[in-house]
Every structure is written in structure tokens, then in C-alpha cells.
């Protein structure tokens, strides 16, 4: 993924539904941030933006980061891994940095491939869509910095060790495996049928949970394939590549217009530890 970082904004990287199974030591907590409000004013299960918070410290993608974090999480989330630059995965990132601008004592660190870093600068933090926060400081600290990583290499993000590999989407995208040293989780991001991700997952000794997309219902299989996504049927085929058996599988990125149908089609796969991820719920392993 390029020949190393360049440009002033780059900084070197340091190096359904059964409940998820309970383990003796629950060390990793993951929450899909809500992004939609129902007519009654409460959180809706419909998900239009993607942002996952790990242990209240690290965000994976930033679609709803500015609107879904708790006050406590806003104090602690300073590392954001961006899997790809689609709007539903970065939509409120600039607003999040903007909100924190005057209060930061350390920068918000954006971890992504060098290519994705450049795309985000070109298309978002470009001085037109939003200010170039990568060039700003608040008198105490630079407010945002990009920390590029290379696919296939292990790197640190806060307390996590992460390894990312390409998945098959219509823009440069990575899936990943991450661990806190005790518990390991696999995360596909947006993808159609893919190979390197499964190779990474299968060579990892133990996986507690797999978060994997299932965007479109089965009758839209052609659209799913064209746009780089999975249907429940395609997800079922992908899961045949998985060698691990003792893990929870959470389907994510369900298109909101088809959520109920997708939940039914996922259930029809007959996999007892597969369920649709619920926004706002904290899962732990």
C-alpha cells in the first residue's frame, strides 16, 4: 500500500438471536453506535451509519461517532480505525473533531491505509467540505493526525493489536482481526465474497466473535455482488470457509429498508450462534 507516508498530515504508526456466549473472563466489549431515531424518540434498530466502539476507547469507522457516543466515551475515544472512505463510514468524523477541538489534550488519531488517508484528506478535510484539521492545533495539541498502516502488518491502536487485510468492496477496504491480548475478534467491514480475510481469520489461533456484513436480502443478490456486499445466502457460503466453530457471529451493515427480511433470512440459515447485531447493545467476550 505505497512506499511509506509522506506529507505533513502523516505520522508513523507504532509498530435470531441467542445472546453471545459467556466466557469466564470478559475482556473485549463492542457496541454498534445507534444512528437512527424512531418515531417515539427512542433508538431505532435501523442502521444507516457505521461506527463500532471497542472497550470505550477505539472506534472502528466513524459514521455515527459524533451522534452516538456517550459523554464518557467522548472523553476516551481518541483512536479511530477507518476501514474505507464511504460516507456511511466517515460521515460525522469531521463533526466529532470539530466538537472536541477546544478540549483536546491529544490528537484524534485516524488509522487507515495510506491510500484511504489520502482519499479522506482529498474528499473531506480539504478546506471546502470541512477544514483541514490535520493542519490545525488548539494551542495544546494538534487536533487530528493520520496514522497509516500497511495491510498484512500487525500494528497497535491504543490497547489493541490489529492486523488488517484487503476485502472485496468497490473502494479500497480492509477487514481485520484485533486482540487485547486475551480476546480476539474478527471484523469483515463491507465485503462481497473474499479470501484474504478468511485466511487471516483461520490462521488466528482462537476467535471469540466474528462481525460480518449482510447488507441486502437474497432477491437483490445481483445488486449485492455489483456493489461489493453479501446477502444472507452469500454469507452462508462465506461461512463455509470459516474453520473456527466456537465463536459468536454477528451480522452487521443490514440495509435499514430490508432489516426485518434480512433477520428472517439470516435465521433461515439455521446457524445457532448467528444473530443480527443490535445498535446500542454492548456485546462482551
DSSP for 239-266 reads: HTT----SSEEEEE---GGGHHHHHHHH
Q: Are residues 96 and 56 in the same domain?
A: yes
Q: What is the pLDDT of residues 208-237, one digit of tens each?
A: 999 999 999 999 999 999 999 999 999 999
Final residue of a domain: which of 95, 116, 149?
A: 149
d(CA 246, CA 17): 16
Q: What share of the chain is helix, strand, coil (3-state, %, to 5)?
A: 25, 25, 50
In this prediction the pTM is 0.90
Helix H or strand E encompassing 93: helix 93-100
pLDDT digits (tens, 9 = 90+) for 120-166: 999 999 999 999 999 999 999 999 999 999 999 999 999 999 999 99
Give the separation between CA 183 and CA 133, rounded to whole angstroms. 34
Question: Are residue 226 and residue 265 in the same domain, yes or no?
Answer: yes
Q: Are residues 134 and 184 in the same domain?
A: no
Instruction: Quote the domain boundaries for residue 120.
Output: 27-149
Looking at residue 40, its pLDDT comes to: 75
The tally of domains found in the chain comes to 2
Q: Are 265 and 164 contained in the same domain?
A: yes
Q: Say if residue 124 is in the same domain as residue 158.
A: no
Task: Categorize the per-residue pLDDT at 26 as very low, low, confident or very high, splitting at 50, 70 and 90.
Answer: low
In a domain, 268, yes or no: yes
| Alpha carbons 228 and 42: distance in angstroms, whole number | 31
pLDDT at 7 over 70: no
- pLDDT tens, residue by residue, 163-202: 999 999 999 999 999 999 999 999 999 999 999 999 999 9
Amino acid at each position: 500500500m505505497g512506499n511509506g507516508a509522506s506529507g505533513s498530515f502523516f505520522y508513523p504508526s507504532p509498530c435470531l438471536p441467542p445472546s453471545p456466549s459467556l466466557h469466564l473472563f470478559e475482556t473485549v466489549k463492542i457496541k454498534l453506535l445507534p444512528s437512527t431515531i424512531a418515531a417515539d424518540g427512542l433508538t431505532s434498530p435501523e442502521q444507516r451509519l457505521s461506527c463500532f466502539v471497542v472497550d470505550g476507547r477505539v472506534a472502528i469507522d466513524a459514521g455515527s461517532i459524533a451522534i452516538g457516543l456517550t459523554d464518557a466515551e467522548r472523553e476516551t475515544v481518541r483512536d479511530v480505525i477507518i476501514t474505507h472512505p464511504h460516507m456511511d463510514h466517515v460521515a460525522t468524523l469531521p463533526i466529532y473533531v470539530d466538537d472536541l477541538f477546544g478540549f483536546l489534550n491529544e490528537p484524534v488519531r485516524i488509522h487507515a491505509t495510506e491510500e484511504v488517508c489520502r482519499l479522506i484528506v482529498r474528499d473531506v478535510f480539504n478546506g471546502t467540505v470541512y477544514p483541514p484539521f490535520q493542519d490545525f492545533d488548539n494551542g495544546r495539541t494538534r487536533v487530528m493526525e493520520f496514522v497509516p498502516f500497511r495491510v498484512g502488518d500487525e500494528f497497535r491502536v491504543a490497547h489493541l493489536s490489529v492486523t488488517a487485510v484487503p476485502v472485496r468492496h468497490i473502494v479500497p477496504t480492509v477487514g481485520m482481526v484485533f486482540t487485547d491480548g486475551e480476546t480476539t475478534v474478527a471484523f469483515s467491514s463491507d465485503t462481497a465474497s473474499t479470501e484474504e480475510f478468511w485466511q487471516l481469520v483461520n490462521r488466528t489461533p482462537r476467535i471469540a466473535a466474528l462481525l460480518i456484513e449482510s447488507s441486502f436480502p437474497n432477491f437483490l443478490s445481483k445488486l449485492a455482488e455489483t456493489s461489493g456486499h453479501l446477502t444472507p445466502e452469500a454469507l452462508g457460503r462465506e461461512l463455509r470457509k470459516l474453520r473456527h466453530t466456537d465463536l459468536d457471529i454477528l451480522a452487521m451493515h443490514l440495509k435499514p429498508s430490508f432489516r426485518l427480511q434480512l433477520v428472517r433470512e439470516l435465521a433461515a440459515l439455521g446457524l445457532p450462534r448467528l444473530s443480527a447485531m443490535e445498535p446500542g447493545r454492548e456485546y462482551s467476550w
